Amino acid sequence: MFGRGHEFRGKRVSPLQITILIFLRERPRYGYEVLKVLKEHFDGVWVPQTGSIYPALKKLETSGLVSSEERDGTDYYSITKDGNDVVVEVLAHSPRDLRLMTRYFDLLGRAAEDLNSEVSRISMFQKIFESGDECEDADRRARRLRRARERIAEHLAMIDRELNDMEGKNKGDEER
């Protein structure tokens, strides 16, 4: 999934489209509401634009991953069973994708260290979480950092479970 998206029944589903599907699992939303929830979630990191959100919604609809219903002149988008299947499939691969991203960020950090002696004192990963947007207020930064910490803790817990499963299987092999 990292970078190029996910393949589902021969169709490419971009990371943006997967993100939209995840938010549509909460409830049906109209286009501008999708834009607002994305802006809020990625605050300070990425600013989604209408020029990318609406085409992504239309492609999801054409692919049968969302359906739309007009209410009072506004299109509301809902996730379909196929759309939900995409999210489940992506989540099933997330531990592998997390390992890929971790190695990618490590590589970026090492490359930055090679290029700049000042960066070598602070890893790239630390820089991402320690430096914020100059315009970002303290409360917003604290919320963003708490969300990041929660996500990292969830992923570390998944890694721990996977390691425990692997270590348990290795012990069983050794006893035989």
**Are 39 and 47 spatial neighbours (Cβ–Cβ below 8 Å)?**
yes
Q: Residue 29 is inside which H or E element, if any?
A: strand 29-30
Pairing of strands 29-30, 74-79: antiparallel
Residue 171 is predicted with a pLDDT of 66
What are 69's strand-pairing partners? 76
Determine phi and psi for 43, rounding to 5 degrees.
-50, 130
Q: Report the distance separating Cα 150 and Cα 127, nearest Å.
A: 18
Residue 1 is predicted with a pLDDT of 32
Residue 25 is predicted with a pLDDT of 96
Q: What is the pLDDT along the chain (176 residues), one digit of tens a residue?
A: 345 678 888 888 998 999 999 999 999 999 999 999 999 988 878 899 989 999 999 999 999 999 999 999 999 999 999 999 999 988 887 777 777 888 888 788 777 766 665 544 455 455 555 555 555 677 877 777 787 778 788 878 888 888 888 888 766 666 65
Domains of the chain (ranges; CATH) run 6-90 (1.10.10.10), 94-175 (no CATH)
Q: Residue 98 is inside which H or E element, if any?
A: helix 94-115
Give the DSSP letter of residue 121: G
Cβ-count burial of 150 within 10 angstroms (0-12 exposed, 13-18 middle, 19+ buried)? exposed
Report which residue type is found at 19. T
Nearest-10 crossing angle of helices 50-62, 31-41: 120
Residue 11 is predicted with a pLDDT of 83
Residue 147 is predicted with a pLDDT of 78
Residue 153 is predicted with a pLDDT of 80
Residue 18 is predicted with a pLDDT of 93
What contacts 104, CB < 8 A, 6 or more positions away?
2
Q: Report the distance separating Cα 56 and Cα 77, nearest Å.
A: 12
Task: Report, in angstroms and rounded to the nearest whole number, the Rg of the chain calculated over CA atoms.
Answer: 20
Does this model's pTM top 0.85? My answer is no
Residue 46 is predicted with a pLDDT of 86
Residue 16 is predicted with a pLDDT of 93
Residue 119 is predicted with a pLDDT of 45
